[in-house]
Chains A and B, each alone.
Chain A
Amino acid sequence: MSHQHAQLTRLIVAIILSFAVSVAAAQSTAVTNSENRGITLKVQVGLSGVFRLGRWTPITIAATNRGSNRDGRIELLVEESDSSVPPVRYVHELELPRDSRKQVQLTALLQSFYQPLWVRYLSGDEVLAEIEVDLRSRFVDSRLIVGLSRDADFDYLSRAAPERDVQPSRVIYPHPQQLPQHWTGYDGVAAVIVHGVTLENLTPRQFDALHRWLAQGGVLAVVTGPEYALAQSSRLSWMLPAIPSGLRSAPSAEALKLVFGDGLHVPRPFRMNALRDIRGDVRFEADGVPMAVEGKLGRGRIVLLAFDVTRYPFDVWPGKVDFWHDLLALPQEASTRLEVRAARSSSWVVQALEAQSTGFPPHGALFAFLLVYASLLATAEQVRATASARWRIPGLALWIAPAGFAVAAWYIFGPLWYPPVPTVVTAGIVESLPNTEQGHLRTSIGIYSPRAKALKLSYTGATPALEVPLFDDDEERPPLWSAGVGDQRWVAPSGQVAYQLHHFNGEDITFFDVEISGEEIDDALVLKIDNRTPSALRAVWAVISGGARRLSEVPSGQSRSWRLSRDAISAGTDGSSWEKRVQDLGPVARGLDKTYGQLIEQALQDLASDPAIPLNRLTVVALTQSPLRPARQSSYWRHVDATVMVSYLSLKRAMDHMPDPLDGLREKGPGR
């Protein structure tokens, strides 16, 4: 009996163990990997495996080939459960020699976790490997703070006192190799803290992405400690608002308490870094010793701490959470990408098309052609009816002449009058960012073809994050968008339908170096514009307090200066709309008056509503060329472009006899 009991027990245990193992195996295959033909794929979503919904997310794909040489591509398919969001397929060409391992990073907009991601490696139409990535366990709903450090712990930043009303954060510690290669990969990141590591190990793309993210408004904090030489490396030293020059004794405990509060306990002295070449604003200073310096790069901020906040005496300082929040001063996030995207429209593109499209051939041309043809036929008929043998029309002519007219008709109403080439329309605003050679490009792009053919636009110059519009037709399936990433960039909607306008939006931080400087002398302003972009600034206006003064063109690679007196600018206050001002330019505007007018108004409105932009400013707007243009493979495309540049110069004081933009605010009281 006891033997049977033992056997029964063993049997039950075996069954339970088998069940447990099978359940564990099933759960571990939440990421299923189909290894085929020697190709293996591994995927990491986000930074340190986490991502934020509604944000651009870097997706790192490692492909290993244990088989024969392969020349193919990686495809990442992003599908949403919401049928109004079209699926997008990202494509990256990838050659995998035998026994090789390569890694690529794509940046995709992930809006939900219901649908898994599919990553495939294909050669031609053959799927050699594919992997399904479950997103359900990977998303977070708090903003991310990236800590680049070997050993520091900044997790306390995730905790915030409720009374501070600070948006929740989560600190992640990705390996520098995992950092995004496109600036949009930092979309979910609020700040980056660098401690004890160098940026020299980043690839050029990663460093460029970090730089661009900073330029558009990111926050970088660099904590220096005994290894101050790391901050002297070329990449960091170029960005930092000051340079650590060596260790020195910290100020007295009393001086430190004045700055950091009584909570900082300093029973014995400690060493910190001395700073030289201070280019920014000193945020914290004790006994005349700069403790933290803040500089600007474009719209972004870089904060340099001259002391190691992870070591004595700051390691046990209870005030460091508040200190960090005050230092980083991260703004509340106003809206998600999804909300911003829903609000966009294709109006700029449509208006540009209205003005610039060649249009269908007019009825008059058709009438003229039909008249000529009818006359020919009538004449031939008359000759045949009355002809003698001498005037007989050869039989072959009665076939060749109409055929010739058919060819002529096709040519006149086709390639001559109505070329069957695809067209790309770019309409947008590029804001030249201060203190950097970057510009913030926001553009609407429309592509269409008068022929039913597959559209594939290869582009260069800018590498925007492309947002496809929401699809609102319940009766049809949304198109599948494909986007080529990597060295050659392209975008292609599915389907081959003529006269279908495919519209999408793009946003990028790209090279656009226009330096605007000014010197206020008495009641005048000496304004200088240095145009280092490849395009001319075709029509330039100086805008101040609602008045606009037309300035001369600034060709590419050149600079111009103007002395603007109060009379000159006030004379420009004529109440005209921007469309009218552009219309007065004549052929310079190329018929795109309405589009340019709307773009300029939008750009000025965006600046006016941005709390980071000083009210007392001079704004410069100009007509220019989009940094994004068709690449060589699409050079035969027709390109209609309406792009305006906007930039601003902060003024120290309002110009006399001009309405002071601060007057109204002074009356109302402080608080902006």
Chain B
Amino acid sequence: MIRMNPLLVEAVRGISLGGTASASYMNLLLLQAGVLVLWWPKLRLVDALEANDGPMTLAAIVIAVGLCLAFQAARQGMEEVTGEEAATVHEWVHGTTLPIHRVVQGLLMAKCVQTFHNFVLSAPLIACALALAGTPWMPILWCAGIVVAQAVAWGLVSTAVYWHVGHNQLLTYLTARLGLATVYALTAVFVPALSAVRVPYDILDIGVEPLEPAFVFIAAHALLGIGACVVLISAFRRARQSEAR
């Protein structure tokens, strides 16, 4: 029988019980609903046909969902929205004898589950736009991968950042917001291939072939996540070693 990772168990339990994380994502859902309403087609169908251009509702909501998932994952990584009952990462490292790799493994799986649950919460909004889009399924699936990959990666990165600067609440607060915004702005302008705005827009609205841009994006964020995991492993080891001394 496979032993369930306790961090994963706690994440699933946290979803069931609700709490701060759920409430904070509800606010983000409202934001996504606002984006959906704003980008809902106002033109008549015949105008879209004459312009040879369909509505960009799906691209807008997918980008919004991606940004919100990443932001929520960052906040969860910074433990801003962790409930009082949930254990912090410091507690897992210092307060348990769980092997380091299991801790990191659990963190990764917990991020995936939380991200995937938040994605499911946003799914009805995406489905509304999907009906209008006319986009084939493959580009949509690739974009779903993009959305999940960036959220998991930024969740791990924010955990790594929190481990090092978590003692400073202001720094934690600013990092989760400004850091993400800065990265997204810079990539949108200078590195479009890694932009969470440009790549879904190109795939869903412009209609570029999705395989290459999506693969590059997901691979880059996978590397980012792996890098964050490496940083976390070495940081956790140092912490345990210093504790042992």
Contact = CB atoms under 8 A, between A and B. Distances in A.
**Are these two chains actual partners, yes or no?**
yes
9 A-B pairs closest in CB distance: A498-B134, A414-B131, A499-B54, A384-B18, A406-B123, A413-B131, A409-B127, A395-B16, A501-B49
Interface in A362-408: 363, 366-367, 369-370, 373-374, 377-378, 380-381, 384-385, 392-393, 395, 398-399, 402-403, 405-408
A526 B45 CA distance: 47
B130 A414 contact: yes
Given A384-B16, A451-B134, A501-B50, 17 more contacts: A360-B43, A363-B40, A369-B128, A374-B30, A377-B29, A384-B18, A402-B121, A403-B120, A405-B123, A406-B120, A406-B127, A407-B127, A409-B127, A409-B131, A410-B131, A450-B134, A499-B54
Interface string B127-151: 1101111111000000000000000
Interface residues of A, number: 52
Contacts of A357: 44-46
A496 B128 CA distance: 22
A450 B54 contact: yes
B207 interface: yes
Contacts of A380: 18
Contacts of A417: 131
Interface secondary structure of B, over-half rule: helix
A335 B126 CA distance: 54
A452 interface: yes
15 contacts: A353-B45, A353-B46, A359-B44, A360-B43, A374-B29, A374-B33, A381-B18, A385-B19, A398-B16, A402-B124, A405-B124, A406-B126, A409-B125, A414-B130, A497-B52
B18 A402 contact: no
B132 A360 contact: yes
Nearest to A384: B18
A634 B15 CA distance: 48
B171 interface: no
B112 to A, nearest CB: 14
Interface of B: 12, 15-19, 22-23, 26, 29-30, 33, 36-37, 40-41, 43-46, 48-50, 52-55, 117, 120-121, 123-128, 130-136, 207
Contacts, number: 134
B15 A395 contact: yes
B132 A418 contact: yes
Contacts of B40: 360, 363, 366
A563 interface: no
Contact of B44 (A354, A384, A448): A354
A500 interface: yes
Contacts of A278: none
Nearest to B41: A360
A381 B125 CA distance: 18
Contacts of A450: 54, 132, 134
A409 B43 CA distance: 21
B52 A499 contact: yes
Most chain B CB neighbours (cut-off 10 Å) among A359, A367, A409, A496 = A409
Contacts of A361: 131-132
Contacts of A498: 54, 133-135
A412 to B, nearest CB: 8
SS of A interface (majority)? helix
A443 to B, nearest CB: 18
A85 interface: no
Nearest to A370: B33
Contact of A413 (B29, B46, B128): B128
A63 B218 CA distance: 52
Contacts of B49: 350, 353, 448, 499-501
A366 B207 contact: no
A30 to B, nearest CB: 40
A384 B131 contact: no
A249 interface: no
B86 to A, nearest CB: 15
Contacts of B54: 450, 498-499
Contact of B135 (A358, A369, A452): A452
A358 B123 contact: no
B117 A398 contact: yes
B131 to A, nearest CB: 3
Contacts of B12: 395
B133 A410 contact: no
Given A353-B46, A498-B133, A363 B52 contact: no
B132 A384 contact: no
Interface string A543-582: 0000000000000000000000000000000000000000
Contacts of A496: 136
A363 B37 contact: yes
A453 interface: yes
A450 B41 CA distance: 13
A385 B16 CA distance: 11
Nearest to B22: A381
Contact of B46 (A354, A378, A384, A418): A354
A449 to B, nearest CB: 7
Contacts of B33: 370, 374
B9 to A, nearest CB: 11
A469 to B, nearest CB: 13
A472 to B, nearest CB: 12
B175 to A, nearest CB: 28
B132 A373 contact: no
Contact of B124 (A381, A395, A406): A406
Contact of B207 (A374, A418, A497): A497
A420 B36 CA distance: 20
Interface string A499-525: 111000000000000000000000000
A142 B126 CA distance: 62
A371 B45 CA distance: 25
B131 A350 contact: no
Contacts of A403: 120, 123
Contact of B17 (A384, A413, A453, A499): A384
A367 B22 CA distance: 22
Nearest to A448: B49
A410 B130 contact: yes
Contacts of B120: 399, 402-403, 406
Interface string A409-425: 11011100110100000
A588 B116 CA distance: 52
Contacts of B26: 377-378, 381
A449 B134 contact: yes
A59 B215 CA distance: 49
B25 to A, nearest CB: 10
